[in-house]
Amino acid sequence: MGCFMKEKTLPTCSREEWNFSIANDFELTAEIFHNPYEIPLDRLFSVAARKNKNRRFLFVSKILGKHIPVPPYISLLGGAALAATYMEAIYGKKTTLIESIIEAIAQEKKCEETYQLIKKNPFVLPEPVIFIGFAETATALGHSVFDCFSHGCTYIHTTREKIPEMASLINFEEEHSHATSHRYYSVDKDLLKSSSPVVLIDDEITTGKTALNFITAIQKKYPRKDYVVVSLLDWRSEEDQQRFRLLESKLGIRIQTVSLISGRIKIREKMNREVTKVNPPTEKAEGEGLTSQVEIKTLCFDEFFPNILPFSSVNSLGEKNKTPYLLETGRFGIGSKDKNIVDEATEAIGSILRKMRKGKYSLCLGTGEFIYLPMRIAAHMGEGVRYHATTRSPIFPEKRENYAVQNAFSFESPDDPEIINYLYNIPYASYDDLYIFFEREIPSQRLAPLVEVAKKLGISHVFFIFCVGGKRYE
């Protein structure tokens, strides 16, 4: 696989500790071992308590664009930073752009300019590579990494969707997650039959068990020699790292890891304190009790994405959605040759929406696994745009300084009313208009819960954007 640096030889920095008081009865300490680019930690993440008995805390990224609204180019540069780090760690090729990428992320300046430099000067891989992003949080991060390479690579992401026309080629579990089951559907059933390295991309690794579950499942059906696990944050303990080494030995493979930050975490129970009493996910903001009149418009941009896949999905109620999927999401696999369509379509849609904006500040929301294309569209909508997405993760909100989730809004998923979705960190009356993006057609009655949330946000203009198969529900 060419020149690479093993984990123990990567550059290190002086150790530092960060303490996070998460809830009444426990706190988290993060000890940093590896931060070669000296990225300020408070620029990358904070921590929150989540409603999950398997793992009570969550690292909430400030650059991912999932739980916290961010300028869309910040999220795209997060993927670029990982791509550059991957090239250096695995192949020993350091790009001169890495300093500009890190500076743009840290200072939130010249983000668009830096991103365009990467688009004009993509990284060149010395061999074919298969990039795989984890649903749902890392679907856009994985796509952002893939997009930084010129050719010779493929991107696909796992999914929680159930596709009746296709067999999931690989199934595995994310044991600590609120939604544990992952599926892998590919229009190219021979993709994993190659000997190409598989690069798994996630926003953070706490124990690495999910990655090991996936690697084991892949190796059982599509054996190969090389895997790389790439993440923004890596908190594996020595015991966790030993599991990686044991699996390497057992399967006769090599697993390398790449991250922007790595270290150890410790959970400390507070003595003589009450059991955790934090508010459950609620629908409260500064304007609690207030609802506003909103203008609702629905727009369809299906003509911009010509490559649709005629698959349906089945939700937990057994209801079938026959609206086709977009190839360009990467859910079923996308190659380097397909990137031009993404570039052209997202710029065209973003330019249209830019002219429709109602004021200085706009919020764009992806939905579920549909994160990357809306992020790219939002990046073309001008200044004052913030982006993040809905999520399945139930996080406890608390209005206090330095806590990651200040407020929360829950609603039935438009795709599946049996699943509760959440929105976080939207201060009341902070935006002039709201754009909510959907990949597929949603019946108008299923949008009603989101409309009710919009009324609580103090946003006067709401646009539902369908990228394929959308009907104009007026």
- Identify the DSSP state of 196: P
The pTM of the whole model exceeds 0.75: yes
Structure tokens at 241: 């790292």
Say what the pLDDT of residue 289 is.
47
- Give the contacts of 191 (CB within 8 A, at least 6 positions apart): 130, 154, 156, 333
**HSE-CB for 283 with a 13 A CA cutoff:** 19
Q: What are the start-end ranges of the E strands in 327-460?
A: 334-335, 362-366, 385-389, 408-412, 420-424, 433-438
Say what the pLDDT of residue 26 is.
78
Structure tokens at 100: 């500009």
Kindly tell me the burial class for residue 308, based on how many C-beta atoms sit within 10 Å of its own C-beta (0-12, 13-18, 19 or more): middle
Q: 98 φ, ψ to 5°?
A: -60, -40
Structure tokens at 455: 């009324």
**HSE-CB for 376 with a 13 A CA cutoff:** 25
Say what the pLDDT of residue 233 is.
97
**HSE-CB for 410 with a 13 A CA cutoff:** 13
Phi-psi region of 429 (alpha: psi -120 to 50; beta: other; left: phi over 0): left
**8 Å CB contact between 232 and 203:** yes
Domain annotation covers residue 435: yes
Kindly tell me the burial class for residue 168, based on how many C-beta atoms sit within 10 Å of its own C-beta (0-12, 13-18, 19 or more): middle
CA nearest to 80, candidates 107, 114, 113: 114
CA nearest to 331, candidates 459, 211, 154, 473: 154
Q: pLDDT (tens digit, 0 to 9) for every residue of the chain, 474 residues total? A: 222 223 333 333 446 788 888 877 678 999 999 999 999 999 999 999 988 777 889 999 999 999 999 999 999 999 999 999 999 999 999 999 999 999 999 999 999 999 999 999 999 999 999 999 999 999 999 999 999 999 999 999 999 999 999 999 999 866 544 445 889 999 999 999 999 999 999 999 999 999 999 999 999 999 999 999 999 999 999 999 999 999 999 999 999 999 999 999 998 876 544 433 334 445 444 555 455 678 889 999 989 998 999 999 999 999 999 999 999 999 999 999 999 999 999 999 999 999 999 999 999 999 999 999 999 999 999 999 999 999 999 999 999 888 999 999 999 999 999 999 999 999 999 999 999 999 999 888 999 999 999 889 999 899 999 998 765 433
CA 389 – CA 379 distance, rounded (Å):
14
CA 69 – CA 374 distance, rounded (Å):
13
Look at residue 381 and give its three-state secondary structure: coil
Domain annotation covers residue 460: yes
Domain annotation covers residue 348: yes
- Domain, as residue range, for 304: 295-315+336-466
CA nearest to 62, candidates 50, 76, 45, 79: 45
Domain annotation covers residue 127: no
CB atoms closer than 10 angstroms to residue 99: 12
Structure tokens at 38: 């000296």
- Give the contacts of 239 (CB within 8 A, at least 6 positions apart): none
**8 Å CB contact between 435 and 379:** no
Say what the pLDDT of residue 228 is.
98
Domain annotation covers residue 341: yes
Strand 408-412 versus strand 129-133 pairing type: unpaired
The one-letter amino acid code at 430 reads S
Q: How many domains does the chain have?
A: 1
- Identify the DSSP state of 271: T
Kindly tell me the burial class for residue 312, based on how many C-beta atoms sit within 10 Å of its own C-beta (0-12, 13-18, 19 or more): middle
**8 Å CB contact between 11 and 32:** no
Domain annotation covers residue 46: no
**8 Å CB contact between 148 and 75:** no
Say what the pLDDT of residue 24 is.
72
Phi-psi region of 252 (alpha: psi -120 to 50; beta: other; left: phi over 0): left
Domain annotation covers residue 426: yes
Which CATH number characterizes residue 430's domain? 3.40.50.2020
Structure tokens at 388: 């993040």
Say what the pLDDT of residue 287 is.
52
Structure tokens at 35: 């931060």
Structure tokens at 340: 């031009």
Domain annotation covers residue 216: no
CA nearest to 83, candidates 72, 74, 73, 94: 94
